[in-house]
Structure 1
């Protein structure tokens, strides 16, 4: 039987651990807080993140990462992107030399402007062929409820990708494989920023035409950056690009969309954060690092720039919209 550790017991980490267990994988989830591990292991629930969802009895939980990582075939990294490095530094000595590392984190690291697979490689010393990423239209709540969804597992080593695919394929969760790690990571990082923009537009009362425009032009930004970094456009036209973008920009279950709506209604960054009960809206931090990464490749990303200005430079949502509408007209 395949054995896996899921390091991180937030919404998506817990939902993916449930998928693995439902697929017949022997899985242990690591939680930072003892009460979360106890709720998962003893009561088969994670009420702080997925209230009302019954977790498989086979899903084990611990607060000791060494217990979770003991003898696993692959380790699932399910912590926020900006805390991945610090967590990995405390885990790396207990990760087996042949263990596949699967990243669920979506973001560009602040300061270094590294993608998550690059952070993993730098901290652990793992060859990039041991590093995989998972991305797609994967709203945690819906998947935890067993609603049909698909995803992409990208890894330079197709054998490892196939092993992960088999370990998480269920009647409701359909994983596809890919070798385009860059495309999957850029799609996953940038869609959170565009979802913030969609939420902001909805928050000020703008309608579906505006949201559709933001999604479409946001996709153009994502493709420009992805291609500049070496991604395949077809990846960004698929589940890890368009699929993830549409789900994150459209659903009230999306933290980034909901966070953006609060900003659009005039709430401060701090009050919007409090309203999400401490759950991270990754796009708030990623907008700055994505913007800087784009600038380093001379790629224009006006929507990303506008989101950064609202979140970190005090620009109002109305002014940001005016700035975007005031850009020169040109062919699509």
Structure 2
């Protein structure tokens, strides 16, 4: 059944998801704040800054007006940076005409509160103004979805029927959605894998090879699982699409902005210089800070995350940091604490 959907955030992932929805026959409006970008989408059906080779369906409309974007919609899809989720949700509330499904495809933890994105959305959008909140996450590069590469991700909601709604919205012959009721696990895996991707990029930038890549991904997954379970997640989620799947794609591809940022750090670039030249938000940087603070609060050991934090926020030499983590006391591999 044709649905009317607002996609908030015309970055690479928001644009790719808007394309999927439009190709599936839904009425899609993209909302953003850059007038030139919005005009380009409407007149040229392109978004060169984020997906330079993509020609968008002509049916996709873009607007600078949030009120226009969400007028009478069946669902609202948040694809804005984590730091903007709360402010956009606040702005949205008085504009909602009927209770839509709230979907988000952003990946991170809120600074200060350490809250997951669905928690922020639930706080800001009253229950009578929305239906269920659904998380859309998994191993997916916008650049590949845009050219119809086969992709599988997860829709997670505490109410599986709502996850099924999102599954039906997006499913087609190249974009497959699985449902899950472990919102905590899916959001935690999505956020924390960006930290490990920074480390994987740094390892490559330092000149290390596949052995080191396997080490940081495997032990990084152990850290993600430890913190996720402490937060209430199902451990099995972390061997699924939004856990190991998302970790693999983010730690091994030049499409990953977190990997690219880490790679530049490994080559000796300064963080400020790296972020200035990326052109897009590197969620792993802010998530590292939130994760370290949360791990201390929950008394969870996360040595890789702590090491990346020291490099990012305490200016520790990256080569020295790599040496220190290798010289830690020996551990039992399956120790889950």
- Asked if Structure 1 and Structure 2 have the same fold, meaning a TM-score greater than 0.5 normalized by the shorter chain, the answer is yes
Q: Structure 2 matches for 1:75-224, cutoff 5 A?
A: 75-126=76-127, 130-224=132-226
CA distance in 2, matches of 1:280, 1:183: 23
> How many residue pairs get matched?
331
Matched, 1:270 2:272: yes
CA distance in 1, matches of 2:69, 2:224: 36
Give the corresponding residue for 1:230.
Answer: 232
Q: What's the secondary structure of 1:252's corresponding residue?
A: coil
CA distance in 2, matches of 1:95, 1:313: 43
Q: What's the secondary structure of 1:57's corresponding residue?
A: coil
Give the corresponding residue for 2:33.
Answer: 32
> 1:129, CA displacement in angstroms?
6.5
CA distance in 2, matches of 1:320, 1:231: 30
Give the corresponding residue for 2:63.
Answer: 62
> 1:97, CA displacement in angstroms?
4.8
Give the corresponding residue for 1:323.
Answer: 324
Task: Check 1:125–1:323 CA distance in 2 against 1; reply closer, same or farther (3 A cut).
Answer: farther
Give the corresponding residue for 1:71.
Answer: 72
Q: What's the secondary structure of 2:127's corresponding residue?
A: coil
Question: Can you list the C-alpha shifts for 1:4-25, whole angstroms capped at 9, x where unaligned?
Answer: 1000011111111111111111
Question: Can you list the C-alpha shifts for 1:180-205, whole angstroms capped at 9, x where unaligned?
Answer: 10000000000000000000111010
CA distance in 2, matches of 1:130, 1:159: 9
CA distance in 1, matches of 2:169, 2:97: 18
Q: What's the secondary structure of 1:331's corresponding residue?
A: coil
**Residues 129 and 157, structure 1, Cα contact 8 Å, conserved in 2:** no
CA distance in 1, matches of 2:229, 2:97: 34
> 1:150, CA displacement in angstroms?
0.6
Moved over 2 A (4+): 125-129
CA-based RMSD: 1.2
Unpaired runs of 5+ residues, structure 1, are none
**Residues 156 and 181, structure 1, Cα contact 8 Å, conserved in 2:** yes
Q: What's the secondary structure of 1:309's corresponding residue?
A: helix
CA distance in 2, matches of 1:202, 1:285: 21
Task: Check 1:129–1:179 CA distance in 2 against 1; reply closer, same or farther (3 A cut).
Answer: farther
Give the corresponding residue for 1:312.
Answer: 313
**Residues 191 and 284, structure 2, Cα contact 8 Å, conserved in 1:** yes
TM superposition score normalised by structure 1: 0.97
CA distance in 1, matches of 2:325, 2:126: 42
CA distance in 2, matches of 1:94, 1:163: 23
**Residues 101 and 130, structure 1, Cα contact 8 Å, conserved in 2:** yes
**Residues 86 and 120, structure 2, Cα contact 8 Å, conserved in 1:** yes
**Residues 248 and 257, structure 1, Cα contact 8 Å, conserved in 2:** yes
